[in-house]
Structure 1
Amino acid sequence: MYLTQGLHRALQQRPEVAATVFGRRRTTFGALTGRVARLAGAFARLGLSKGDRIAMLALNSDRYVEALLAAWWLGAVACPLNTRWSIPEIVDALNDCGARTLVVDDACVPVVAELRPGTPALERVVHAGEQPAPEGTLDWEALLAGAEPLEDARPAGDTLAAILYTGGTTGAPKGVMLSHANFWVSAVARMAEVPSPANGVSLLVAPLFHVAGLGRVVSQVINGSTSVLLPVFRAETVLATLQNEGITDVMLVPSMLQMLLDHPAFPDADLRHLERIIHGASPISPGLLERAMKALPHCGFQSVYGMTETAATACSNGPFVWREGVPLGSRELAAGRPCFGNEVRIVDAEGREVPRNAVGEITLRGANVMQGYWNKPEETRAALRDGWLYTGDGGCMDDAGRVHVVDRVKDMIISGGENVYSAEVEAVLSRHAAVAACAAIGIPSAAWGEAVHAVVVLRPGASATEEALRAHCRASLAGYKCPKTIEFQDALPLSPAGKVLKTVLREPFWGAGARQVN
């Protein structure tokens, strides 16, 4: 269950098939395997070895895929970093994982100079872009040209493969430790639910620093099928790529799906090759799903539920196709049934399983569940209890064994597929001199599913504008974490124990009985 095994299989069975397509570059599995072996050799010559962390700060590309596979070929640990993070957030992650090598592309080269002073352990930066390598960085193709191929380490299944950073309720990012087996089991379990033809062509537009994008890379390599990569999501480019490359399946965050449907070019796009749309990372609204299914009646729609801690997929639902005159029901709108190898229980506050259709916390168990949080034993013990992962998501299981997500136990906001933790936003807002108290909540957004909204109480005699507070946040937080709207109140509603009653704050936006997920 090592993650480069698919390369060896494809090299034997279909070396001439395109493994990656990026712009005008088309790389076959035969060529990709050779490049990965040489890149791993180059990493080894730089002094990297098994267990070393290799960080990646780049947009999607074929070279990003090569970096991931070369790290795994070497037996090293891939540490993909969120390109939307602020400089302090990137610095914290680099220092936390102790990466000595950072891979960047053209888009991220400008931040390197700002990262250097705060990352003393960082020894080298490798440039994997299209432009000439800037001074002080190592050139990708030059490294490859001067390297001898390395023998694949073929790590054991429990070997650490990646550290993926996700937010925490304390505001500090947590590095989720995922093994080769975690990724492999998750990918194969999903493919067992809905087989993926080897001749399929998948579009990878979800960022590879997210577990959803990274999980798709793993699936494509295991399956030996073609991946077409786009660096960023732009509706017009995605529509053209779906059409021109004969894409058969794509994974989209619901906000991406809505942008495609809203684009003026959508009605004229030839999407006859598209067989399946997988949607996840954020709940989809019934209206959007119905609209998409009607617009693409030949296409199957499959939802997936999971998280970074489960190496992507834990539950799957569908695919479903549009049936005229048959409205969508709870079957189509469920998060899905547990995939092969996964167990799900819905439990109460004491960890006891609740009856069917009763709401509790979703807990998961399976070989895809993370090893723990990097350097955070207390957080690991809190999340992994008696062999179960406590997700922090509220949900129920119906009589047919389908899981339904109804709320979030944690105060997490999902905006455009990105996880935003309210405590992290509040920590930054509270550092403004004019702020006495604050709370961050998610409110409905037509574009992003949810948007970050802040409620602020100012200090007596102090003043601050909404724009000033947003600017304050932008200095420390990624743009998607910054409040889109801010309102000022005289006081926050508090419980007798002194806790902020966020249900009261949410009520004007969601309604007293509305589901707190959009």
Structure 2
Amino acid sequence: MLPRDYIARCAAHYPDRIAYHDGDRHLTWRQIDDRSDRLAAALQGLGFQAGDVAAILSHEHLEVYEHLFACYKSGLVRCGINWRYAPREMLHVIRDSNARVILVQANCVPLLEPILDDLRADGRLLIGYGGEHGLDHDYESLLSAARERPQWPSLAEDALIALSYTSGTTGLPKGVMLGQGAMRDSMLYTVLSIGLRYEDVWFPPTASGWITFVLGSFNLVNGMTVVLPNGDFDTARFLEFVGRYRVTATIIVPLMMQRLLDEYDRGDYDLSSLRLVTYGSSPARPALIRRTMETFGCEMMQLYGITECTGGWGIS
């Protein structure tokens, strides 16, 4: 099995379970399977095929995972573009990855303005979504016009599934090449090691422009529900969503942890559903760990090595 097979399995076994919450919007497994089918078919109809790179410039919304699943199904290589990059860095990522098609959220179009002429001169196709965007193609129109199911090309275990650009310490962003089999194994064994299960509601409030997009697809392993941050991480909204959606497990970094504790002290939030907080990216002071455990009343687990582990984690 490859990651795309897990999409079909979840749609078949849990068709009416919520796969993703995004503020007031949500998608069941049946719905995201259908919409990602339509996007994959639309992209194939535009001439894109397995091995081509399909990039996305977006904040954290349902379309990020529709795009991801469409890439998985069609063999396109997923590439995220960090909206915090300068135009020069965005152009570098697009050209270095040779992204032939780019999905752009409407409120990110102004970020591309300085390089739009370059992209069009390169022959790159732009698809907009989420409001007035003025780009070549409209996302919802493409999905509405798609009638046929996508073709699933033959894919090898070592075929590219995604490119993740990381800034490192010097120079322009550098692309990390991720394989089909490695992605599958990383998702499977990380979910099992953390102890996530079907009944969980998992909330990764991280930015999907780099490797952390994998965190939002851990539900492929067990069919659990994932909560998206509905844009970008915000402390008050995060704590409100934990109570609204009865979140049971999350992943944050120590800086987020500190900000969440400060916001919790200022507000009135229900965190009684939370059983596990995982954290990584940087060390956390013992005092911060103790305060988090006492305040949130849950277990904690330290994780590391997301880029090196193809989106999974070492656990300590």
TM beyond 0.5 = yes
CA contact (8 A) 1:260 1:266 kept: no
Say whether residues 1:124 and 2:146 are aligned partners: no
1:267 Cα shift? 5.8
In structure 1, the residue matched to 2:83 is 83
Q: Which region of structure 1 is more displaced relative to structure 2, 177-186 or 84-93?
A: 177-186
Alignment of 1:327-366 (within 5 A): 336=316
In structure 1, the residue matched to 2:16 is 16
1:25 Cα shift? 1.6
Say whether residues 1:192 and 2:166 are aligned partners: no
In structure 1, the residue matched to 2:107 is 107
SS of the residue 1:136 aligns to:
coil
Change (3 A) 1:274 1:264: closer
In structure 1, the residue matched to 2:314 is 315
In structure 1, the residue matched to 2:218 is 219
Q: Which region of structure 1 is more displaced relative to structure 2, 260-269 or 176-185?
A: 260-269
In structure 2, the residue matched to 1:140 is 139
1:210 Cα shift? 2.9
Moved >6 Å (runs of 4+): none
Alpha-carbon separation, structure 2, partners of 1:186 and 1:287:
31
Change (3 A) 1:122 1:19: farther
Change (3 A) 1:257 1:137: farther
Structure number with the higher strand fraction is 1
SS of the residue 2:96 aligns to:
helix
Long gaps (5+) in structure 1: 317-335, 337-518
CA contact (8 A) 1:3 1:218 kept: no
Higher relative contact order, chain-length normalized (CA < 8 Å, sep 6+): 2
Letter of the aligned partner of 1:291 in structure 2?
Answer: R
TM-score by length of 1: 0.58
Alpha-carbon separation, structure 2, partners of 1:8 and 1:86:
37
Name the count of aligned residue pairs. 313
CA contact (8 A) 1:304 1:313 kept: no
Task: Give me the identity figure in percent.
Answer: 29
Change (3 A) 1:79 1:234: same
1:122 Cα shift? 4.5
Alpha-carbon separation, structure 1, partners of 2:2 and 2:218:
12
Alpha-carbon separation, structure 2, partners of 1:204 and 1:305:
15
Alignment of 1:452-491 (within 5 A): none
Long gaps (5+) in structure 2: none
After superposition, what is the alpha-carbon deviation per residue over 1:49-91, rounded to whole angstroms, capped at 9, x for unaligned? Answer: 0000011111111011100110111101000011111111111
Alpha-carbon separation, structure 1, partners of 2:135 and 2:224:
36
Alpha-carbon separation, structure 1, partners of 2:170 and 2:268:
47
1:266 Cα shift? 5.7
Change (3 A) 1:264 1:196: closer
Letter of the aligned partner of 2:122 in structure 1?
Answer: A
1:191 Cα shift? 2.0
CA contact (8 A) 1:99 1:121 kept: no
Letter of the aligned partner of 2:47 in structure 1?
Answer: G
1:174 Cα shift? 1.3
Change (3 A) 1:153 1:19: farther
1:201 Cα shift? 1.0
Change (3 A) 1:236 1:309: same
Structure number with the higher helix fraction is 2
Change (3 A) 1:210 1:278: farther
Change (3 A) 1:5 1:200: same
Alpha-carbon separation, structure 2, partners of 1:154 and 1:9:
18
Change (3 A) 1:169 1:274: closer
Alignment of 1:55-66 (within 5 A): 55-66=55-66
In structure 2, the residue matched to 1:330 is none
CA contact (8 A) 1:40 1:73 kept: yes
Alpha-carbon separation, structure 2, partners of 1:136 and 1:106:
9
SS of the residue 1:100 aligns to:
strand
Alignment of 1:235-314 (within 5 A): 235-263=235-263, 268-297=268-297, 299-314=298-313
Alpha-carbon separation, structure 2, partners of 1:23 and 1:142:
23
Larger radius of gyration: 1
CA contact (8 A) 1:184 1:218 kept: no
Say whether residues 1:209 and 2:201 are aligned partners: no
Alpha-carbon separation, structure 1, partners of 2:253 and 2:169:
23
1:117 Cα shift? 3.2
